[in-house]
Amino acid sequence: MWCEKVTEGDRNQRIKLDKAPMSGNKFLRKLSKHSLWLLIGLVTGMTFVGYFSPIRELTIDFFTGEADGWSYFWVGFFTLATYGNAGWLREQVCIYMCPYARFQSVMFDKDTLIVSYDPRRGESRGPRKKGVDYKAQGLGDCIDCTMCVQVCPTGIDIRDGLQIECIGCAACIDACDSIMDKMDYPRGLISYTTEHNLSGQVTHKLRPRLIGYAVVLLTMIGLLVTAFFMRSLVGFDVSKDRVLYRENAEGRIENVYSLKIMNKDQRDHTYLLEASGLPDLKLQGKREIKVAAGEIFSQPVELSSAPEQLPSSTNEVKFTLKDADDDSVHVEAKSRFIGPQIR
């Protein structure tokens, strides 16, 4: 909406521009608006994909044409999704797609702060001249200017009561307050208030529902913080090569694996790699691996065993990764060691 305002002007200017025939000025304004929307979409898309792929490399590869196909697909998908949802669909997302409105209506009670119109003060609504004794004419404070409806992004009339489409943006409060100021009436005909307040009753702040929500929320925050501090600072993934096994020049059975080590810490780490699970298991390849802060390191390694030492054609093996400087950091990953059929 901000992009729209800086490129096409306020609501009235936009309506005028839409009605005007196409011209160089109109084309440039529309082009700037859509370009800005797409740019925001692209930043969103890159950020989303950056959660799964190192973002510095992704950004460089993306713009130099070196990124893989999936990166282009997902960045493109999220760019267009943001462009479509935020630029074109807007409040339709809030009304039809977002579960928040449905969810929050379940959580409401008569003491919940909501955007509300005060019908006891506003009705009967109707136009009048400023300064006249409208109360003598049986009118309330609402001058029926419909400003609150015009500014509502979801197009509802808050004077009809609370509706599921209301996203609580408070645009109607500001609009109505400005009308009240012009009419020299007190502000707050539409305000953040509770149903109990509106009906002249007392609003209860501390109530079982609120305490229940607070307990649930605090428990969730507690679990999140615990999970955050207990998370492992190293990620370790092992996948076996598609070739089942091969026999080397010494007659030993070899299996190849691909290791992926993710250093999630802010500093560089050196890890020590070990393999176990079979009596005659030998690990070939680098055993001491240095991974820079925030990097993902991939490396193939080979395990080998004498065929007569294999208990079965499919055996479980275990890779262990230890931090060279910190014994408490150690992760394991299981895989299979495949050998020839044993008769």
State the distance between the two ends of the chain, measured CA to CA, in whole angstroms: 73
- Max Cα-Cα span within the chain: 108
Grouping H, G, I as helix, E, B as strand and the rest as coil, residue 308 is helix
Q: Which two tokens stand for residue 32?
A: 């700037």
Residue 4 beta carbon to ligand SF4: minimum distance, rounded to whole angstroms: 17
Give the Å distances, CA to CA, from 82 to 37, 78, 87, 129, 231: 8, 6, 7, 46, 31
Which positions touch ligand SF4 (CB under 6 A)? 115, 117, 122, 125, 142-148, 151-154, 156, 158-159, 166-172, 175-176, 179, 189-190
Residue 236 beta carbon to ligand SF4: minimum distance, rounded to whole angstroms: 48
Residue 122 CA to residue 135 CA, distance in Å, equals 11
Residue 160 beta carbon to ligand SF4: minimum distance, rounded to whole angstroms: 10
Could you identify the residue written with the tokens 């919940």? 112
Residue 187 beta carbon to ligand SF4: minimum distance, rounded to whole angstroms: 10
Q: In this complex, which beta carbon is closest to ligand SF4, that of residue 167 or of residue 262?
A: 167
Q: In this complex, which beta carbon is closest to ligand SF4, that of residue 142 or of residue 253?
A: 142
Q: In this complex, which beta carbon is closest to ligand SF4, that of residue 159 or of residue 269?
A: 159
Grouping H, G, I as helix, E, B as strand and the rest as coil, residue 99 is coil
Q: Which of 207, 146, 152 is nearest to 179 (CA)?
A: 146
Residue 259 beta carbon to ligand SF4: minimum distance, rounded to whole angstroms: 53
Q: In this complex, which beta carbon is closest to ligand SF4, that of residue 176 or of residue 317?
A: 176
Residue 167 beta carbon to ligand SF4: minimum distance, rounded to whole angstroms: 5
Residue 257 beta carbon to ligand SF4: minimum distance, rounded to whole angstroms: 56
Q: In this complex, which beta carbon is closest to ligand SF4, that of residue 152 or of residue 317?
A: 152
In the chain, the DSSP E strands lie at: 114-117, 190-193, 234-240, 246-247, 253-263, 269-276, 282-284, 288-291, 296-305, 314-323, 330-338
Q: In this complex, which beta carbon is closest to ligand SF4, that of residue 111 or of residue 141?
A: 141
β-bridge pairing 234-240 and 190-193: unpaired
Are 283 and 301 within 8 A, CB to CB?
yes
Q: In this complex, which beta carbon is closest to ligand SF4, that of residue 167 or of residue 275?
A: 167
Are 243 and 283 within 8 A, CB to CB?
no
